[in-house]
Every structure is written in C-alpha cells, then in structure tokens.
C-alpha cells in the first residue's frame, strides 16, 4: 500500500520541471476522503482540539499534563492530512510525510527505516511526540491524475489520507541533524529530525513535516527540554533558500474522494490561487490560542444574528470541521433549524431549511469574509464516505464542546480553508486570508 503511494509521489515529482524561480517552493497537495471505523469525524476533531488546548494550557502554566511523555504529546487528527515525498540524508532515503500546521516537529522512520548516511549527525538527545487517536490508511493515487500547474519553483505531489481506526500513535525516537530535500533541488542542511525508534498507528506513513509555530517544539527534546527546534520553514529562511519566513496554502472544495487540488508554497504566495488582496491579522495574544496559528474573529449568521464577538481561536489544517463555542453553536442551530445526526455527529438540515440557509460572515481584523450556505455543507457526494446517508444534507459546523472565553474558542478547520487562501507569516507574526475562485463555489 505504502510503496505504491510513494512510487506515485516519486513518479509525479520526476515529471515536475525543477526550474528555480524567485525563492518559492510549491508543493501540490491532494485531497482524499475515506473515513470508516468507529469514531465520527467530529469525535476525531474534538480529540485533537481538546488535546491541543490541554497541552497549551499545561505548557503555559508550567504544570506537567501527566507524565513527561504526555507533555510532549501532540494529537494528530488524521481526518485530513497531506503527504509530501521528502528526501533525508546523502544519498537520500525518501519518506512520505504528513504536512501539519498544528505541530512543528519533523519526524521520519515510522514505516520506511531511517538510514544513517554521510550527512547524518546524531545529537544524543531523545524526542517524544505522540499523535493520539487513530491510525492512518493511505491509499494510492489514481494513476492518471493530471499534473497541477506549477507556477513557480519546485513541484512535488502530496496526498491526503483520512484515518480509520482509533488507537494512539506514538513516536518516540532520537534526534539527528541531517540534510533534507523538500523538492528536487531544494535542500536544507542541518535540519533537526526525530527518527522514530518505534511507532504505532502510522501505517503507510513515515512521519510528520510540522509547519506550526516553532514554540510547539519546546519540551519535545530530552534532556535539552528548553530548546526550540527550528522547523523546516525556519531553516529554509535562515539558510537563505526562501526570502520570507512564510507559507501559503491553497485548498479547493471538491466532491470527489481523491483529487490533487491543493498547493503549499514555502517562502511566498501564489497569486494564481487567490483573488483580490491578502488581508492580514496579527497572531492573537490571547492564550492558549496564541501558542498556535491563532487569531481573533467575530462571526455573524445572515444579516444580524451574532454567533460570537471577538473571541480567540485557531486556524488549523489538521482539523476537518468548523468548530464553534457551544453558545455560538446553539445560536447557529436555532437559526438554521438543524438537528444533530447521531450517526455522523454532524448537524443535519432538511431541503427546505437548506434553501433558507444564510451565509456566515467572519470578521477578522476589520475584514469580513463571506462563508456561503454551500460552504456550510459537507459535500453531498461524500455523505456515505463519512457514514452518512446519500440523500441527507449535513453541515460542517460543529461545537467545540466548551463554553466561551477559554482563549481557544473556535477552530477554522480544513472546510473553512477550502474557501479562503491562507498565509502563515512567521516573520511578522500574522496570518493572511484572501478570497479564491472557489470562495462562492456551489460544488458541495
């Protein structure tokens, strides 16, 4: 299963022409939907988010969460993930790594064994990160996916997996410094990497490419607990390979379960993927959202129904749904007439209710983004992929399950990012959003 994914990743990257333009690195991303197993999409999202929040609280208060292994836990929600083929060492070994904005360590060796080479330096430190709840099922690409347009730089395809099972994925290992090639011709030297000494739940995936804020790596090394580990983006920047320490992400809504329809850009933004201006907002100072790619926003339903005002939360590629604080979710439920569906865990509306569904309006640093009625639907063609009924209408708005004012009151997950281009700017501690040709898509 894994080798066929990797061979397709490699075959596609060989097709990409490695022409260096500006200092961008562009990685096409594929979306894949296949959710089975006992836990719903919502339960998986909540497991991730609860863990992220608890971990940040624990770190901020200086209180151990439980044992040391647990402090360095990171829940990885496998409902939506993206894979990139990444080379490590000289000569290189190629690993299929999940790209995650909600964590910041880079890991290899969970499935394909790590090989010590001429450029490998062991530091003698251990690393412990666990990604709770779930294993990964990787299915290979359709053989004849069209190549994405690659406007700048380098291309390498990535794939999304949806996880199936329910057990804890733990990656204990040792730290090495080594040469990492993210895409043909694009190389980072001296990248700190965790080499998995054992793993559970990473079937078919070799590890993680963590592109969250660097502070999320604190407490993951031992004995050097207080050292932050520069992320791949940090090193690309400090080594002069990219000229801005930022990442641009483009997703598009889709109603098929496998498609290469996204793009990750290191060091710049891809103007072919958005419309109008990118509007930036500072990373929130409200803890614990401030530990992540966090923002402050207000949300309104329709012309005048306030969902919430000025709360802090996060933007996260590893969360699937749009998660609201309980009170805002209750307001939304009343306004739409939706009911909770026991099978999927999602809200469900009738056809008549859907026809009256209003847009949600997100105001972020003075700029309002319209999230249409269609955007609030789970793609109907994919209902059965999440255990739903083909003719039902499910909504992607769910509750975080906490009262407001926790300092981590919402998550704008993957379904939200499919409608807006996003920019994660480390240098200026800000996050940008822009509309795209798909903001008003009616594909769902």
Ligand X SMILES: *[C@@H]1O[C@H](CO)[C@@H](O)[C@H](O)[C@H]1NC(C)=O
Q: Is the peptide bond before 243 cis (omega within 30 degrees of 0)?
A: no
Residue 177 found at the interface with ligand X (CB under 6 A):
yes
338-397 residues in contact with ligand X (CB under 6 A) are: 370, 385
Residue 165 found at the interface with ligand X (CB under 6 A):
no
**435 beta partners:** 275, 420
Q: Which stretch binds ligand X (CB under 6 A): 7-15, 216-224, 409-417, 432-440?
A: 432-440
Any idea which residues carry the catalytic annotation?
Answer: 100, 316
**348 beta partners:** 339, 394
Structure tokens at 139: 């299915």
What mask, x for binding ligand X by CB under 6 A, covers residues 6 to 45?
----------------------------x-x---------
**444 beta partners:** none
User: CB–CB of 63/71 below 8 Å?
Assistant: no
Structure tokens at 150: 């690659």
What mask, x for binding ligand X by CB under 6 A, covers residues 255 to 294?
--x-----------------x-------------------
Neighbours of 20 (CB within 10 A): 14
CA 228, CA 231: separation in Å to the nearest integer? 9
Q: Which stretch binds ligand X (CB under 6 A): 151-159, 193-201, 209-217, 435-443?
A: 435-443
User: CB–CB of 353/337 below 8 Å?
Assistant: yes
Which is it for strands 107-108 and 186-196: parallel, antiparallel or unpaired? parallel
Which is it for strands 82-88 and 169-183: parallel, antiparallel or unpaired? antiparallel
| Closer Cβ to ligand X, 13 or 261, answer by number | 261
DSSP letter (8 states) at residue 158: B
- Say which residues have a Cβ less than 8 Å from residue 304's Cβ, sequence separation at least 6: none
State in angstroms the smallest separation of the CB of 440 from ligand X: 4
Residue 120 found at the interface with ligand X (CB under 6 A):
no
Residue 403 found at the interface with ligand X (CB under 6 A):
no
| Closer Cβ to ligand X, 70 or 361, answer by number | 361
CA 247, CA 110: separation in Å to the nearest integer? 26
State in angstroms the smallest separation of the CB of 1 from ligand X: 8
Angle among Cα 106, 49, 212 to the nearest 5 degrees reads 30
Q: Which stretch binds ligand X (CB under 6 A): 59-67, 334-342, 401-409, 433-441?
A: 433-441
Is 267 in a helix, a strand, or coil? coil
Structure tokens at 27: 């990685």
Q: Is the peptide bond before 154 cis (omega within 30 degrees of 0)?
A: no
| Closer Cβ to ligand X, 103 or 284, answer by number | 103
Q: Which stretch binds ligand X (CB under 6 A): 76-84, 194-202, 407-415, 434-442?
A: 434-442
What mask, x for binding ligand X by CB under 6 A, covers residues 122 to 161?
---------------x-x----------------------
Out of 26, 269, 439, 444, point to the residue binding ligand X (CB under 6 A). 439
Out of 190, 298, 358, 392, point to the residue binding ligand X (CB under 6 A). 190
Residue 179 found at the interface with ligand X (CB under 6 A):
no
Which residues of the chain form contacts with ligand X (CB under 6 A)?
Answer: 34, 36, 137, 139, 177, 190, 192, 229-230, 257, 275, 370, 385, 435, 439-440
């Amino acid at each position: 299963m894994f080798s066929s994914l990797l061979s397709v990743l490699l075959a596609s990257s060989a097709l990409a022409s490695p022409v260096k333009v500006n200092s961008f690195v562009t990685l096409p991303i594929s979306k894949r939907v296949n959710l089975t197993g006992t836990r719903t999409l919502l339960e998986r999202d909540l497991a991730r988010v609860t863990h992220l929040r608890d971990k940040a609280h624990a770190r901020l208060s200086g209180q151990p969460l439980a044992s040391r292994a647990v402090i360095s836990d990171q829940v990885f929600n496998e409902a939506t993930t993206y894979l990139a083929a990444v080379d490590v060492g000289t000569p290189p070994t190629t690993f299929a790594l999940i790209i995650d904005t909600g964590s910041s360590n880079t890991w290899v060796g969970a499935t394909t064994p790590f090989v010590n080479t001429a450029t490998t330096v062991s530091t003698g430190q251990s690393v412990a990160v666990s990604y709770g709840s779930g294993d990964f099922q990787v299915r290979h690409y359709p053989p004849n996916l069209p190549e994405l347009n690659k406007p700048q730089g380098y291309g390498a395809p990535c794939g999304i997996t949806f996880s199936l099972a329910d057990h804890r994925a733990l990656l204990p290992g040792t730290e090495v410094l080594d040469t990492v090639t993210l895409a043909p011709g694009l190389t980072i030297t001296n990248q700190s990497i965790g080499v998995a000494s054992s793993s559970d739940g990473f079937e078919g995936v070799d590890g993680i490419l963590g592109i969250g804020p660097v502070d999320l790596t604190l407490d993951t090394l031992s004995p050097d607990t207080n050292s932050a580990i520069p992320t791949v983006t940090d090193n690309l920047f400090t080594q002069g390979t990219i000229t801005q320490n930022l990442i641009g992400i483009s997703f598009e809504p889709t109603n098929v379960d496998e498609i290469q329809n996204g793009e990750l850009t290191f060091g710049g933004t891809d103007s072919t993927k958005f419309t109008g201006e990118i509007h930036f907002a500072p990373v929130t100072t409200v803890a614990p959202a401030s530990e992540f790619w966090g923002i402050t926003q207000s949300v309104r339903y329709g012309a005048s129904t306030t969902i919430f005002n000025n709360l802090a939360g996060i933007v996260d590629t590893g969360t699937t749904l749009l998660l609201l604080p309980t009170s805002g979710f209750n307001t939304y439920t009343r306004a739409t007439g939706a009911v909770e569906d026991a099978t999927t865990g999602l809200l469900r509306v009738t056809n008549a209710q859907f026809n009256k569904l209003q847009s949600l309006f997100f105001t972020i640093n003075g700029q309002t983004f319209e999230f249409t009625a269609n955007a609030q639907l789970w793609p109907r063609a994919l209902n059965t992929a999440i255990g739903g009924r083909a003719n039902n209408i499910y909504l992607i708005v769910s509750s975080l399950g906490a009262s407001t004012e926790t300092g981590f009151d919402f998550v704008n997950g993957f379904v939200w990012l499919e409608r807006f281009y996003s920019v994660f700017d480390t240098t200026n501690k800000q996050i940008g959003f822009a509309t795209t040709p798909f903001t008003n898509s009616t594909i769902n």
